[in-house]
Amino acid sequence: MTLIWLDHPVLWHSPRIPSGYNSTAMTPEEFALIRTRWHNWYTADWDYARTTVYFFCAGIVLFALVNMLFQLGQRTRAAGVLRKVSLYRKVVAAWRTLGSRQIYVSAVNYYSPPLSAVTIVAALVAFFASLTFAVRPYLWPNMAMGHSPPIATRSGWISIAILPFLLVLATKVNLIGMVTGVSHEKLQVYHRWTAWIMYITSLIHAFPFIVQCIRDGEMATNWSTTSWYWTGVAALVPQTWLVFMSWGPIRNRYYEMFKKLHFIAIFVSALFIHCNFTLTSWDYFWASAALYGFSWFARYGRTLVNGLNPDASFEALLDNMVKVTIPTKLKWRPGQHFFVRFLDLGIHAASSHPFTVASLAGSDPKDSGSGVIEMYARVHGGITTRLRAVAEQGSLKTSRVLLDGPYGGVEANFQVYDRVLLLGGGSGVTFVVPLLLDIIRRSKSGELTCRRVHLVWAVRTSNALSWFNSVLSEAVKGAPEGVSVSVTHYVTDLAALIDDGASTETKSETSTGTDDIIAKHSGRPDLPCIVREFCADPGTVAIATCGPSSFNLDVGTAVSECEFDIVRGKSQCSEIYFHGESYSW
Reported as a single tens digit per residue, the pLDDT across 426-472 is: 999 999 999 999 998 888 776 667 889 999 999 998 888 888 988 99
Last residue of a domain, one of 391, 407, 423: 407
What's the rounded Cα separation, in Å, for the pair 527 and 316? 30
Residue 352, domain member (yes or no) = yes
463 shares a domain with 330: no
Q: Percent of the chain beyond pLDDT 90?
A: 56
Q: How much is the mean pLDDT over the chain? A: 87
Task: Judge contact between 341 and 351, C-beta under 8 A.
Answer: yes
Residue 553, domain member (yes or no) = yes
pLDDT band at 350 (very low <50, low <70, confident <90, very high): confident
312 shares a domain with 295: no
Strands 110-111 and 519-522: unpaired
292 shares a domain with 352: no
475 shares a domain with 562: yes
Write down the pLDDT at residue 585.
Answer: 46
434 shares a domain with 539: yes
Lowest-confidence region among 16-20, 54-58, 292-296: 16-20
pLDDT, tens only, 332-346: 999 999 999 999 888
Cα 414–chain centre separation? 22
Last residue of a domain, one of 387, 407, 427: 407
Is it the case that residue 536 has pLDDT exceeding 90?
Answer: yes
Q: Which residues contact 553 (CB under 8 A, 6 or more apart)?
A: 102, 104, 111
331 shares a domain with 213: no
Is it the case that residue 1 has pLDDT exceeding 60?
Answer: no
The end-to-end CA distance of the chain, in Å, is 44
159 shares a domain with 118: yes
267-275 vs 150-169: helix axis angle to the nearest 10?
140
- Its pTM stands at 0.90
What's the rounded Cα separation, in Å, for the pair 422 and 454? 6
Cα 510–Cα 511–Cα 514 angle in degrees, nearest 5: 170
Last residue of a domain, one of 363, 390, 407: 407
Residue 468, domain member (yes or no) = yes
Is it the case that residue 366 has pLDDT exceeding 60?
Answer: no
Three-state DSSP class for residue 133: helix
Residue 337, domain member (yes or no) = yes
- C-alpha distances in angstroms, 486 versus 317, 454, 523? 25, 5, 19
pLDDT band at 82 (very low <50, low <70, confident <90, very high): low
pLDDT, tens only, 459-485: 998 888 888 988 998 888 888 888 889
Residue among 526, 535, 585, 584 nearest 560 (CA): 535
Our count of domains for the chain comes to 3
341 shares a domain with 296: no
102 shares a domain with 130: yes
pLDDT, tens only, 189-233: 999 999 999 999 999 999 999 998 888 888 888 787 787 888 899
Write down the pLDDT at residue 125.
Answer: 98
Residue 46 domain boundaries: 38-225+276-300
Write down the pLDDT at residue 9.
Answer: 80
59 shares a domain with 110: yes
Residue 356, domain member (yes or no) = yes
Residue 1, domain member (yes or no) = no
Residue among 573, 566, 539, 565 nearest 90 (CA): 566
Residue among 328, 255, 292, 331 nearest 173 (CA): 292
> Which CATH number belongs to the domain containing residue 322 in this structure?
2.40.30.10
Write down the pLDDT at residue 510.
Answer: 40
pLDDT band at 516 (very low <50, low <70, confident <90, very high): low
Is it the case that residue 112 has pLDDT exceeding 50?
Answer: yes
Find the mean pLDDT for residues 357-369.
65
> Which CATH number belongs to the domain containing residue 475 in this structure?
3.40.50.80
162 shares a domain with 117: yes
Residue 5, domain member (yes or no) = no
Residue among 489, 414, 412 nearest 451 (CA): 414
Helix, strand, coil % in the chain, rounded to nearest 5: 55, 15, 30
Find the mean pLDDT for residues 154-160.
97
Cis peptide leading into residue 137 (ω within 30°): yes
Is it the case that residue 499 has pLDDT exceeding 60?
Answer: no
317 shares a domain with 292: no
Residue 142, domain member (yes or no) = yes
Residue among 204, 104, 101 nearest 162 (CA): 204
